[in-house]
Chains A and B, each alone.
Chain A
Amino acid sequence: MSLSRRRFLGGAGALVALPAFESLWPRRAAAAAPTSPDRLLVYFLPNGRTPATWVPAAAGTSYTLPLASSGLNPFKSQLTFMSGFDHRAAREAAAIADHAKGTGPVLTNFAFNANTPLNNGISFDQLLVRELKPTTRFASLQWGAGQPAPCDFGPSTCTYTQCISWKGAGEPLGPVTSPLTAFNQLFAGSGEGATEAERARRRGSLKSVLDTVSGEAKSLKGQLSKGDGVRLDEYLSSVRELELRLTTPPSSTCTPGQAPAASLDYPSQVRAFHDLMVLALQCDLSRYVTFMIEYGLSGRSHPFVQSYGGHHALTHGGAAVLDQLVRLEKWQCDMGAELLGKLKAAKDASGASLLDSTAVLMIPDMGDPSVHDHENLAPVLVGTLNGKLKPGKAVRYAKEPLGNLYVSLAKAFGLTLPRFGVDGVKVLGELLA
């Protein structure tokens, strides 16, 4: 083998300085899909937002972002800052306390009754999965950086404060909270065996394994009550998803980089998830991702931004601790902005910025947390969704049904929804291009 020495060493240095995840860049970009798919990324913010430091005072295209949301300044032309949504599902949810009421239906818009175990509707991300039937390796992904904590009053409250994605009643999709687990989830089963022939044979064997356990579940189902049959249906659908993944191995253009550490401090945990989200979208492993920076009713302390009290306690701590609360809310928004920056910089297989093909919905569980206000939600919608959204402004609504936000987003994704949840009936034209 002969080659020019200069080329030899010049090539050697080229990839050295790149951070770990950049090596996962699709290598044969030109050969992949020429157009970007529509993507949804939900970034959940717990414990409401303090209106004075979160919501812009003015509406329209000329407005100023107050302190806690100021981290979004670099993205002003790509976002719509909304306020004044009425979260009726939260107000009407029964037999449970306010943070569970705010968080549980934040994407389902379903007024559940917690006395029925795991009662809820389908969440918006899962609606997209159901209607658009993605063929990506993962139909959807649910991640979060929450730590287990007390879960509010009422039955099954942990499920309502810890899950925003729901396939439907009885099927909450709890987030994976370890970046290492999420990493392994993304790249598991990327092939057993040294050669392609061995890998193909192993795929066949694993299909036999999964067919066998499905068969066992089906024969078991005949012996059980209807309620238990539902649990086995869930089992069967989970087996099918895994089987689908086995038969669609990950694209050879996307290979895992270095796995995140097993133990990370909280900001590093959040950032590791950011990298994984970019990766999952960039490699088209999934198109619908929900992320909870913390669970609803978060009691986490954020000493690294001089915010020492537990988050929830701070929201009821009055003026004495308001500065701590605002620093915390600002930090969470800044983290979201960090992710937006990464999405903007990352290009997918078509060569376009991920932020251009994605609708990023940053949404809190309530308005003013000090009074558990469910009538003034202020979410932020970032990105253009391949030109289907019309960002670049602040919109102030007055008790606008939250469901209309999802009906509008559905429209942008090409779906006509006659109704979503408890109050979604119309498209908000100003959000769409």
Chain B
Amino acid sequence: MFSLKSFLLGSIFFLFIPQLFAQEFTVTGTIYSEDGHVLEEAYVYLSEHKWAVTDETGFFQISSVPPGRYTITVSRLGYQKQNLDIIISSNEDDLLQIYLEELIYNNKAVVVTASRTAQELEDVPAPIDVISESEIQKSGASTLKDILLEQTGIALSPNEDNSIQMQGFESDYTLIMIDGQPLIGRTRGALDLSRINVSNVHQVEVVKGPSSALWGSDALAGVINIITRDATDPFSINAYSEYGSRNRYDLGVSTSFMKNKSSGTFGFASNGSDGFDLSEEEFGKNQNPFDAVSLNAKLKYEFSSYTSLTVSGRYFRNQFNGEAITTVADEIISIEESGWQDDSNLQVRFETSPISRLSSSVVAYSTRYEDLSDTFFEDPEEEDIRTNNRQGLDRLELQNDYSWNNKHLTTFGAGATQEFVRAERFQGERTQTGSFLFVQHQYNSNEKLYLIAGARLDNHSAYESYLSPKLAARYRINDYFTVRASFGQGFKAPDFRTLYLDFDNAGSGYRIYGTKNILSEIERFNQQSLVAVELVNDISALGSLEPEYSTSYNIGTTFLLPDEVFRFSVNAFRNNAKNLIDAREVVELVDGSTIFGYLNINEARTQGIEVESTMTLFKQLTASIGYQFLDAVELASEERTLIRNSRVVTEDVEFEVPLPKRPRHSGNIKLFYREPVFDTEFSLRGIIRGEYFFNDTNADGNAEKNVDEFVEAHTIWNLTIGKRFGTNFRVQIGSENLFNYTDSEFLRFQPGRTIFTRINFDL
């Protein structure tokens, strides 16, 4: 089919001249890309000694060609090779105009997050999404948050700025990593995804469902792994600059090199804005003005084809300032706030193959996070408040992959982690240590069946050991249909907050103590005879917390046509979460005030269906839609007094309470269109959210219209238009939230319309 098309393309521009003289001629021509750009360095071959390479104007010339019938072959890197039959019988200026079709590399995406080993995306038995570098570029996104929100099954959390929900869980339950190592620095459990600049990202891998069997704690709802780019060219430089509404700016420069055995990438990026404000009546802004910088570097040296050393690092700093209001002794006063966040990490990775069939890697990783915020009061009498919080994590990890033959691969490894947090509210520095072992076996039978089984054991100084298993299978029914099923467990360790944070608000009638201190505190009140009632049966159970965990099942199928012309996938999931930690009133004191403690009491269930479909309608138009149905409930049980057979009885009744702030229906629409005449790329993305209830206002566990507060169904549209100028420049203009949808009451983190322009330079 293709050769017929090339033949037609070539024939249009070919001049048939009758053979008149038996002499030698000069053959000339120009080689173009399909969209009309001249192509230099194209190789034009006529016969063994008659060939040429095009110059910077795409022109070539082959002299001393005897007349006759020839097959001319034109090839160039990145384009389809073309063969044309021609007859040479005269000298003709610019005789041939040959248009080459761009070669679309159907590069099969390779992912690592699902098995800790490189696997082709379509092979992976677990639900996984990959966001490619080109998708990030086409959208014009600058931070991880922007691009994640456009994915099916990921929603912006209404609770914390720039954090996400996955499979019905808040962001505390999703592990976020860079090159397989965890990021730290969470606020109330949420990691600010706008801290991660995507300009050096090769791809983002999103595994949905628990993955603690590979990655340990926090991978309960899923894992987001950011894979940074490796150098692929001898030398390249990239610079971009963006400016948009509310003085939003984003600029950066990055460079990479590859020479002999060493390669590296370096990048600098800076972004910021004036923040945004949805309601003038409300004091302060929804987002404070900020300025952030980030630096990254990656250096790799290859000692041999299977031994290499990679050192990579990243530094981020964000500075903010703004105004807010607060309540001091029941009086509302305005305050000024300013501060910064600092986030850095360093990773050293050594890979080698000590014996045949075994590849090993050792990773040393260190990351630090610090934030500082100052609160200034207008009243000079009032003392300014400074809070400072430091966290760190150091890890050493070893992984071995042994391939028994082309069907069996065993992965095993171990590691040790040390974590600390230092903050006034934690009374100084707190340290925890942990170690882990993991093993996994993969079986791949002649492309049809693929099985993975694995488990990980986590030992920890602050809680009991935890074993997470997983089992996953993929079966390829035929060339088009694949089915997948997986089972796994995910856990989340009790964090520093639940272990150590003491908060004494005796003025408001309550105190909260961390698990490590609560027993001694209650004992202290007991000795002073201040305890009135113990509100839980077993007070001593407060002294230790177990990890929260979830058992999860995923089953799905994919229908795929060749060349990814059409792809349809559906995945059903169910997570049964147990031991969820909640603060409860545990002791009432004689003065009527209460003490709160943390308990493993809550249970939740989330289940749903995700559907994704992508189709390439013409070569220029790609459309995709995604949909998620979500049913997320907390499972509660309560002692209830009721009448059975005319007698009053008290029994435990189990009931479900819908979890708020989660749309039942959500989805997205994405259209990418490459307009061929002016070579312009259009990317339109719609993020659709169904209606959901925000607050259970009367606290009866039911969502009721007119009583509870509902967020109405809405769609946020983002549009980006990009055009290339020459081979080096790309200009984009775009609008986020094109139709300016805002809701100052509930969607507090959704800014209004942003218009931006972006210039990108590549060399």
Do chains A and B stick together as partners?
Answer: no
Q: Which residues of A contact B (CB under 8 A)?
A: none
| Partner-A contacts on B (CB < 8 A) | none
